[in-house]
Amino acid sequence: QLQTEEIAALLDQYPDVVIALKGEQQENDEFFQELVLFLLLSMMGIFAVMAIMFRSYWQPLLVLTAVPFGFMGAIYGHIIIGVNISMFSVLGMMACAGVVVNDNVVLIDRINQLRRLGFSPRRAVVNGAVQRFRPIVLTSVTTFFGLTPILLESSVQAQFLIPMVTSLSFGVLFASVVTLVFVPALYLAGENASYHFSKRQARLDAAVADAAALNSPELNS
């Protein structure tokens, strides 16, 4: 409100006045810019490692789709607890991203194992989600309740930790639901799309081969 109303009115009244954000505000802005860059670099590194491990490009993207939902959970957690988002909140979101990626890697890897055993895509997704339900839920619940004492701490020394803990605990808890429901659904949708694309490509290749055979010189002679 100060920047949008009072400062704007002051600049209208005195056009020669120059306002610049310095000190702590400038340091925070620079910190956030560097943090966003590091976050993008870390996501690229995670994508590269998973692409090698899964031997696929779309499955790493599938794993990373749950990360924004973890960020959403972190923001909702700040609203519920009633704390402002700070630089420590962003650090907690980055830690949350690591836990969320780990849960999804465990799930997708199990589904791929079942697919190699001959399961259909639907059966592999259902059985994989059921078999990994307990580890994922236990990871999220134990993380949340393990951090609860810090969330409930009222001492001055713990106040700077509360935003980071809020991001991590609520982000992991919210993303676990996405991991068990949304990610398997996306996996199945991707498998169906890949199947229909391969089937369509096979028909197209067969049609091209038939057309080439009909136009061959031997057949025309």
Distance from chain centroid for Cα 140: 15
Q: The tokens of 108 are what?
A: 């997708």
So what's the pLDDT on residue 216? 60
For residue 132, tell me if it sits in a domain.
yes
CB 104 within 8 A of CB 66: yes
Helix H, strand E, coil C: the string for 149-170 is HHHCCCCHHHCCCHHHHHHHHH
Q: Give the count of domains, the chain.
A: 1
For residue 14, tell me if it sits in a domain.
no
For residue 157, tell me if it sits in a domain.
yes
With the CA atoms of 72, 100, 136 and 69 taken in that order, what torsion angle do they form, in degrees rounded to the nearest 10?
20
CA distances 93 to 4, 76, 164, Å, are 28, 12, 7
pTM of the prediction?
0.72
For residue 36, tell me if it sits in a domain.
no
Its domain, for residue 166, covers 55-210
For residue 62, tell me if it sits in a domain.
yes
Average pLDDT by consecutive 10-residue portion of the chain (221 residues)?
65 74 68 80 87 86 88 91 85 88 90 90 90 90 90 82 91 88 86 74 68 61 53
Q: Is 57 helix (H, G, I), strand (E, B) or coil?
A: coil
For residue 79, tell me if it sits in a domain.
yes
Q: What is the CATH number of the domain that holds 104?
A: 1.20.1640.10
For residue 125, tell me if it sits in a domain.
yes
How far apart are the C-alpha atoms of 188 and 167, rounded to whole Å? 30
For residue 33, tell me if it sits in a domain.
no
Q: Residue 84 burial (CB < 10 Å; 0-12/13-18/19+)?
A: exposed
How far apart are the C-alpha atoms of 59 and 81, rounded to whole Å? 34
So what's the pLDDT on residue 145? 92
> Closest Cα partner for 64 from 52, 78, 51, 77?
51
How far apart are the C-alpha atoms of 207 and 200, rounded to whole Å? 11
So what's the pLDDT on residue 199? 72
Distance from chain centroid for Cα 16: 46
For tokens 């607890």, what's the residue? 81
